[in-house]
Every structure is written in C-alpha cells, then in structure tokens.
Amino acid sequence: MPAPLPPLSLSLQFARFDDVAEHRAALPRHKVTRWIRHALDGDVLQAEITVRIVDAEEGQTLNRDYRQKDYATNVLTFDYSSAPVVMADLVLCAPVVAREAAELGKPLAEHYAHLLVHGTLHAQGWDHETGEEEAEAMEAEEIAILAGLGLANPYAQP
C-alpha cells in the first residue's frame, strides 16, 4: 500500500490579465492540489505552496530580477524550505504556458500539470541545470509522476 500523500496548504492566485478565465478553468483547485501532492517526495511531511499565475510582464520582471534572464519563462520556483516541510512559491507565466501548450498540441491543463510537477520538484532540490545526469533523473521523475496521474509523457515526440 503506498504511503499517504502529505497535507498541502495551497494558495492559488491569479493576476489580472486578458484571458485569465481560460487559465482559471484549466486550474481547478482540486486538480492543482492533486498534481502538487503527487510530486512531493516521500520524506515530505507537509507542504505550504503558493501558485501564482501571471502575465508576461510580471513573469519577465521576476525572471530578470531573480535569475538575471530578461524574458518571461514558463515556471519559476522560489523555494524557502525543504523536507520535512516544503515551503515554496511557484510562478507560472500564462502567455508562455498557453503558447507552449499550443505548440506541443496539448491541452492547457495538461501542460500546467507538467509545469506544476516540474516546479514542485525544483522546490525539493531537483535541478536540471547542473548537469546531464541530473536533468535525465529529473525528467524521469516527472514522467513517472505524470504517469501516476494518468498523464502522458511530456517529453515524448508527437
């Protein structure tokens, strides 16, 4: 019998932007909670995570100010503490996520699920930018988590 999933305190926030309703519809609270909880490692006893969906301007500002990369990216993770209590902010840039989902031919909600799993792994110390081995391990973990959620491999070529 698998271990029970850890409790999650979730704050789900949406900035004001033109097509926010489409993004709200793709991110019902119960699904966001499920996706994040499934991405938490076995040594996590509880998590406090804020998910904020932003426009391109806010996404670019945060990426520039905190990562010194002057463009909007799909997901930014700000991790404050790790296991046994994970505390983090996940910031997802709605226009970038929507564009990527369209380019990949995926439903918006499915792409959000992948990016929330990805960001949650970053909040626990996973890092795909430190080397090829770490990138492959993180990718494999994402694929396994998403499969457990009934979602396809996000890295498979169509």
Give pLDDT tens digits for 78-135: 999 999 999 999 999 999 999 999 999 999 999 999 999 999 999 999 987 777 888 9
User: Looking at the domain assignment, is residue 125 inside a domain?
Assistant: yes
Give the model's pLDDT for residue 158: 65
pLDDT tens-digit series, residues 30-48: 999 999 999 999 899 999 9
User: Looking at the domain assignment, is residue 153 inside a domain?
Assistant: no
Lowest mean pLDDT among 48-57, 121-130, 132-141: 121-130
SS3 percent helix, strand, coil of the chain, rounded to 5, is 45, 20, 35
Residue identified by tokens 């990949």 is: 104
User: Looking at the domain assignment, is residue 154 inside a domain?
Assistant: no
Domain count for the chain:
1
User: Looking at the domain assignment, is residue 63 inside a domain?
Assistant: yes
Contact 13, 91 (CB under 8 A): no
* Predicted TM-score of the model (pTM): 0.95
Domain extent for 14: 8-148
Annotated binding site for Zn(2+): 118, 122, 128
Closest of 94, 154, 158, 86 to residue 120, by C-alpha: 86
DSSP strands (E only) in the chain: 8-14, 46-54, 75-81, 85-93
Annotated binding site: 118, 122, 128
- Whether the per-residue pLDDT at 3 is higher than 80: the answer is no
Give the model's pLDDT for residue 53: 98
DSSP strand pairing (75-81 vs 85-93): antiparallel
- Kindly state the DSSP code that residue 90 receives in the 8-state scheme: E
| SS3 state of residue 119 | helix
User: Looking at the domain assignment, is residue 156 inside a domain?
Assistant: no
Give the model's pLDDT for residue 16: 96
Phi and psi torsions of 35, nearest 5°? -60, -45
User: Looking at the domain assignment, is residue 47 inside a domain?
Assistant: yes
User: Looking at the domain assignment, is residue 116 inside a domain?
Assistant: yes
- Whether the per-residue pLDDT at 2 is higher than 80: the answer is no
Phi and psi torsions of 128, nearest 5°? -90, 0
User: Looking at the domain assignment, is residue 41 inside a domain?
Assistant: yes
